[in-house]
A and B are shown apart, each in its own frame.
Chain A
Amino acid sequence: KQEVTQIPAALSVPEGENLVLNCSFTDSAIYNLQWFRQDPGKGLTSLLLIQSSQREQTSGRLNASLDKSSGRSTLYIAASQPGDSATYLCAVIPDGTSYGKLTFGQGTILTVHP
């Protein structure tokens, strides 16, 4: 059974810092990995999707890497801003026939202070 773990569970930093959020998964036979952010009481917003054949994806100040062999992904946030405060979730898709069956980590709660 796939298990996804995110470290740290919570992070509080001053504005401007560069951050690294970690995600690990127990079964390396994943198809894709997707990072999301969730604001309190809201739905999930997709940040980055990394296909299993890729090593990293970038979008603006965000960069996500994937190392399937070690079962790890990292989300790097450059020059953090108060608007980045949210819960960040990583999720894995197990295989090519399970389009919507994501297994999620518990999330990292990020607070960026002005």
Chain B
Amino acid sequence: KAGVTQTPRYLIKTRGQQVTLSCSPISGHRSVSWYQQTPGQGLQFLFEYFSETQRNKGNFPGRFSGRQFSNSRSEMNVSTLELGDSALYLCASSPRPGALRSYEQYFGPGTRLTVT
């Protein structure tokens, strides 16, 4: 079974631009979460989607948004990029509720975003 895939793997943007990152979960998984990882703050939760609905949201400004499609694929968007948005963005998926080990998170390789 293929793992979680994220595209693109690397991205360089300029301040003020916007960016869209994509995540395809493991087949059959319906929950997708996004995290931001930086050397200073570590891993921080951005948001979680299940069945196209945002279930939880972390403490990030409104410039960070996301969505989930009917096939469980998810995108996150960052508008008006700032230098501090440079980070590794990780996506994770987990099985449907009620499935065996339904809370185990499986992470993708991440998208490295650099804002200049």
**A residues bordering B, Cβ < 8 Å?**
31-32, 34, 36, 41-46, 49, 51, 89, 91, 93, 97-107
Q: Report B88 CB to chain A, min CB distance, Å.
A: 8
> For B43, B92, B104, which residue has the most chain A Cβ atoms within 10 angstroms?
B43
List residues of chain A with CB within 8 A of the CB of B101. Answer: 49
Docked pose: A87 CA to B68 CA in angstroms = 30
Q: Tell me how many residue pairs across A and B have CB atoms closer than 8 Å.
A: 76
The answer to whether B56 and A98 have CB atoms under 8 Å apart is yes
The answer to whether B104 and A45 have CB atoms under 8 Å apart is no
Q: With CB as the reference atom, state the residue of chain A lying closest to B6.
A: A43
Q: With CB as the reference atom, state the residue of chain B lying closest to A89.
A: B43
Docked pose: A60 CA to B4 CA in angstroms = 24
The answer to whether A107 and B42 have CB atoms under 8 Å apart is yes
List residues of chain B with CB within 8 A of the CB of A100. Answer: 31-33, 45, 48, 50, 55-56, 92, 94, 105
List residues of chain A with CB within 8 A of the CB of B58. Answer: 101
The answer to whether A99 and B107 have CB atoms under 8 Å apart is no
Q: With CB as the reference atom, state the residue of chain A lying closest to B95.
A: A99
7 shortest interchain CB distances as A-B pairs: A100-B33, A100-B48, A44-B107, A104-B43, A43-B109, A43-B107, A101-B56
List residues of chain B with CB within 8 A of the CB of A41. Answer: 88, 112
Q: Report B46 CB to chain A, min CB distance, Å.
A: 10
Q: With CB as the reference atom, state the residue of chain A lying closest to B49.
A: A100
Q: Which of A34, A97, A104, A105 contacts B104 (CB 8 A)?
A: A34
Known: A99-B31, A100-B50. 16 other contacts (CB 8 A): A43-B90, A44-B92, A46-B107, A49-B101, A91-B43, A97-B55, A98-B56, A99-B50, A99-B94, A99-B102, A100-B45, A100-B94, A102-B33, A103-B45, A104-B35, A104-B43
Q: Which of B35, B102, B105, B108 contacts A34 (CB 8 A)?
A: B105
Docked pose: A34 CA to B94 CA in angstroms = 13
B69 proximal to A (CB < 8 A):
no
